[in-house]
Each structure stands twice: as structure tokens, then as C-alpha cells.
Chain A
Amino acid sequence: MQDVLDKPRRGDAPSAVAAEPPVTVRRRRNPRVRWELTARITALSLFCLLLLFPFVWLVSQSLKDTNQYFAVPFEWIPSPFRWENFTDVIFKYEFLHYIGNSLWLAVYAVVVNILSSSFVAYGFSRFRFPGRNALFMVVLATMMLPGQVMTISLYRFYRDIGWIDTFYPLLVPKLFGAAFEIFLFRQFFLSLPREVDEAARIDGCGTLRTWWHIILPQSKPVIIVVAVFTFLGSWRELFGPLIYLTGEENRTLPLGLLYFTSPFGSSLPMLMAAIVISLIPPIVLYALGQKYIDKGVAIAEIK
């Protein structure tokens, strides 16, 4: 009996459903278990309500004018709605420009990171060479290093070669792969059957073509996870852009938010509208990749 219960678990860890049925039958009969379930759902509902409140409040405040914003008692549904906040933020406050900068930086990061990290991970997962495991430990160890330690000397180096207020300090390091993404790709590649690679090799397929034509097409789940995480990471990055991008022309969305000041008087509703705008892409992206992200966290956990 326990073996039967055990097996589906191992196969697909994400669903606890498979192993549950006998319990479900008992649950219906047992009032204590039903009470427990009600308590569980109540606790979760209350917590989610707490979580959601600031975000509902945010949307409400983003659709007001300044007087409505400070009105006491608080109006949850603004009347009238000020949709102009959003168009004003985008067009009058230059946010279109910031969004454009952030967007192309994020798309670049996604494309380059997938290519470089999977390339390196392919080396770590499919070849035997002296020092491989030690070097992989170094990859993992770099995740522990606070990036700020390096930033200071990198800043001076970039200043000396004239890269300050250009996008190069943000673009160039991405070409060399990122530790967490290399780790994710490697874990996934190790789970792919080697027989397919072998078959390709015997047919005269070089390792480079194996990576591109055999490995990557099988890696859709991990590619999606890396794409979402990389996009989010780039989209919200503040420290790097704050230090390297000094001119207004090159501001990214987080910098636009940080330096948000109004040429037209108090503008908290506008700031709230700008925040709503910057939160939409991550939410949409999560919705699109959700199925894979839960599994991605499971991959990360194997470590």
C-alpha cells in the first residue's frame, strides 16, 4: 500500500494530488478535518487580503488628482477617474523614453543571457575536464559575493575607459553568462538523456551543433524560466544604472521612478500611476510563464 502511495510522488513531485485520494475519502467523513480545512482557507484568505490591500490602494490612488489623493475619509473608488495620469506620466514625464530604455536592455539581457549561460552550462554538463567540479563550485560561490564589492573598482575602470553614461557597463558583462542561470541550465541539461547527444555525435554532428540543434530545443522549460527571471532582474535593477548612467537621456524606468519629481507641482498620483505601469510587465510575464516557473523553483531547490 505504501509503495503504491509512494510511486506517483517520485514521478511528478509538483502534484500532491496523485497520492491524496485515500485521504480525501476520509476527509469527507471527518468533521475535524473539514474544520481544519476551513481554518486553513480562512487564514490564507485573510493573509491574501492583507497582501492585496496596498496594491488595490495603489491602483485607486493612481486614478485620482492631488485633492482626491489626500482626501479623508479615503475613497476606494475615485470619482471621477483620472485616466490622464497614465497618459501624462507616459508622454509628459518622459516615461515612454525610460520604458523604451528598460525594455531594450531587458530584451538584450534575456537573449544574451540565455545564449551565454546555456553555452557555459553545456560545457559544465557534457564534458569531462580536470577541475570541472571545483570550477562549478566557484560558479556557485560567486552568487554569494555581494556585487557592490566589485562595483566600486569596476566603476573606476569604466570611468577611465570612458564608459560612464553609456550602456556598455550594463551590456558587456552579460556576454559572459550569469551564475544562477548557468546553474539552472546545468541542472536541466544533466536531466536530459545523453543517448540523443551520442546518436548525434556518431552521425558526425559537432558539439557546437549538438548544443544548438539537440540540447537547446529540448530545453524550453528552463529557457522560459531563465527568460522570466532575467527579464525581471534587468527590469528592476537600480544599483548598476544609478551608478553607470548619469545622464537623463539614458535613464531606465527604475531611475525615472527614483528621480521622479514633478515640473507641475505635487504629483503623488502621477508617481502612483508610474508605479502601476512599471509593475504591469512583471505580472504579465509571470502569468505567461507561470507553469514553468513553479518547476524552475523546484530545479533551484535540488542543489
Chain B
Amino acid sequence: MTMVSAEQRPRPKRRWWRREGVQGYLYISPWLLGFLMFGVAPLIAAFMTSLAKANVFRTIRFVGTDNYEKILTDDPVFSTIAGNMLIYVIGSTVISIALGLGLALLLFKDFRGNHVFRTLIYVPSLLVGIATAYLFKQVFRGGEVGLANMFLSLFGTEPVNWLGDSEKPWLALVALILVNVWFAGGTMLIFLAGLKGIPASYFEAARVDGAGPWQMFRKVTLPLLSPVIVFNTVMALIGHIQVFETPLAFANSGGVATGNPLGYENSLGTFVTYLYVKGFVYQDMGYASALAFIMFAATLVLTGLVLWLARRFTAYGDADQN
């Protein structure tokens, strides 16, 4: 048996599908197929749709860039939402990054109970979704029953009508941003992994040179951690731009059909909730597709901005070290 195979081996007559390259394509073919069917094709279709007016009766009329023009210049709801998103995304990203980094620095030391703290901080970030959205809706309930108001009353503050104040509709947005305090655990864990990847000798060398804690953070930790900070910031941005469950739950008063799903005076409207309302409640697919592309463009612009800032920041750090 072995002799036969040894004799056969030198013969280069391998079947075409046994070639390494072909096999590689065969193995990745499920993804490639899925990418074409569920990625590229719908993307092209969505772009075509965004240039058309399609309604419930499925009559499609080509309207060029009308949808985009209307959204950007003549849609007061979208203007409100764009403002909401700017505040929400910046506020939430700052919370995710600053809190995540702060907690990671606190945990970056070996002491008893470290593990317990890490678990307690990380687990809530796994629970994000409609369930926690409804929980926080109750937490930010107006009157004395809500937990947030109970907490504030410890400091003698009057109960705040977080989600339904007609004079201060922005309070709802503040509540929406504050919820992210509970979900900083995900970024914390990645920061912690990044911190552990910094060789101990760097800290030791800085210590020997007499660096204080602040200098150590500023000159050693921050520059060496900057790739992780950039990664986390981009991920946080993308996640926050696509926020959906919490604003929907906050705006919704039992059943989606009742009330304005964008909140009081649209104060809780986000890109995705607006897209959902336009596309699937009003069935204006062309408009919703254009919204989706504008959201995508906003994501790209913000990501590009972060990467650009990161490059400048890193260059500055290098110059500083010399």
C-alpha cells in the first residue's frame, strides 16, 4: 500500500479541485456568496431605491437625488434628529471611552477582589438591548418612583420629569446618554487587555527615572495605548450612531403603534428609529434608503475624523518623546 502511494506521488496529475488556491476559494465561498447576496446586492438595490420614490403600491418612480435633497434641506424632523445624534454620539462616546479607560486603569493592578469588580462592570454591557432599555425607562421615570429621582432626592433635588417634560425635551436625550454609564464594561475590558500588553519594563524604567503617576500616564500609558484608544473610539462611534432599542423604548408608551416613536417633540429621534418609522411604518422605502446612506456617510466622516485626529495626536506624541 505504502509502496503504491510512494510511486504515485511524484506524478503531478492532481485534480483541479485539489489545488491549494481552488480549495481556498471553495472554503471561503459561503462567505463570498453571502456577501454578494446579503451585502453587495441589497446595497446596490438600496442605492437605486434611494434615487426613487417607492410607495405602498410598489409603483417606483425615479426621482434622482430628490430624497437626499429633501432630507438635508427640507426636513425639520431630520434636522432635529441630526442635532440629537451629534449630542448623543459625542456624549456617549466620551462616556464609553473616558469611563472605560478610567475603570481599566483602576483595575490595572493586582489586588484581591479585582476579578469580582471586573465581572460586575463587564456583565451589564452584555445585557444591552430592549430589556435593559425598558429597565432604564423605569429608572428614569418621572415623579418620586423612578430610581434616578430617588437618587437625586438624596441631594434634595426635586423630581425630574426625564422623559416627558414638555418644556425641557432635551432631558430625555440626557437620560439616553447617561444610560451608557452602565455599558462601559465592554470598552473597559479591551482597554485592560491593551494595558496588559504594555511591557512592564516601560513602567519600571519610568519609575526608576522618577516619574510620578500623572507623568507615567501621560508619557508612557497614553502613547502606548493610543492604538487601543483609537480602536475603541471608532467602535464606540459606530455603535452609538446605530442606537435603536433604548430610544425606541424610551419614546414608546406601550406598543409601538401608540405615541410618537421619535419621542416628545422628536427629542428621542435617532437615525435608526427615524429610518424605521419612515421605511416600515410609513413604507417610504426610497426616503428610508436615502436616510440609511446618509447615516453611513456620517459614520464614515466621523470615523475618518477620529483617524485623522489620531494621526496628528500620535505624531505629536512622537515629537514629544524625542
Contact = CB atoms under 8 A, between A and B. Distances in A.
A127 B117 contact: no
Contacts of B255: 259, 261
Interface stretch (B74-82, B83-91, B103-111): B103-111
Given A152-B289, A175-B34, A238-B129, A258 B21 contact: no
Interface in A109-136: 116, 119-120, 122-124, 126-130, 132, 135
B27 interface: yes
A130 B24 CA distance: 9
B121 A300 contact: no
B296 A40 contact: no
Contact of B131 (A14, A254, A294): A254
A283 B244 contact: no
Given A16-B108, A298-B193, A182 B24 contact: no
A204 B124 CA distance: 49
Given A48-B117, A303-B231, A148 B123 contact: no
Interface stretch (B36-44, B65-73, B160-168, B310-318): B36-44
Given A154-B38, A303-B231, A116 B107 contact: no
Nearest to B257: A259
A255 B119 CA distance: 28
Given A6-B200, A129-B25, A153-B45, A286 B126 contact: yes
Q: Which of A13, A232, A242, A261 counts the most chain B CB atoms within 10 A?
A: A242
Decide if the interface of chain B is mainly helix, strand, loop or mixed: helix
B131 A146 contact: no
Interface in A222-257: 232, 235-236, 238-239, 242-243, 254, 257
Interface in A1-38: 2, 5-6, 9-10, 13-14, 16-17, 19-20, 37
Interface residues of A, number: 100
Interface in A42-73: 43-45, 47-48, 50-55, 57-58, 61, 69-70, 72
A70 B32 CA distance: 55
Given A238-B129, A238-B130, A146 B201 contact: no
Given A128-B24, A142-B35, A301 B190 contact: yes
Contacts of B244: 238-239
B129 A149 contact: no
Interface string A148-169: 1111111111000000000000
Contact of B299 (A48, A146, A239, A279): A146
Contacts of B33: 176
A218 interface: no
Given A51-B120, A51-B121, A128-B24, A148 B190 contact: no
Contacts of A96: none
B200 A146 contact: no
Given A261-B254, A286-B126, A149 B296 contact: yes
Contact of B31 (A69, A182, A259, A282): A182
Nearest to B213: A36
A260 interface: yes
Contacts of B177: none
Contact of B193 (A13, A123, A149, A176): A13
A268 B272 contact: no
B238 A177 contact: no
B38 A150 contact: yes
A275 interface: yes
Given A48-B117, A236-B130, A120 B135 contact: no
Contacts of A146: 238, 241-242, 272, 292, 295-296, 299
A290 interface: yes
A184 interface: no
Interface string B196-214: 1101110011000000000
Q: Which of A74, A132, A144, A175 counts the most chain B CB atoms within 10 A?
A: A144
Contacts of B49: 152-153, 156
B217 interface: no
A236 B106 contact: no
Given A144-B238, A177-B31, A275-B131, A9 B123 contact: no
Interface in B126-164: 126-132, 134-136, 138-139, 144-145, 147, 150-151
Contact of A43 (B31, B37, B106): B106
Contacts of B238: 144, 146
Contacts of A207: 23, 27
Contacts of B134: 257, 260, 271, 275
When A and B form their complex, which 5 residue pairs have the shortest distance between CB atoms, in order from nearest? Answer: A176-B34, A123-B27, A127-B24, A236-B129, A153-B45
Given A14-B196, A123-B27, A153-B41, 6 more contacts: A43-B106, A69-B145, A129-B21, A149-B296, A157-B42, A283-B126
25 contacts: A2-B204, A16-B108, A20-B110, A43-B106, A44-B107, A50-B181, A54-B135, A55-B124, A72-B144, A116-B31, A119-B30, A120-B31, A123-B28, A127-B23, A128-B21, A139-B35, A148-B292, A148-B295, A149-B42, A149-B295, A207-B23, A235-B129, A275-B134, A290-B119, A301-B193
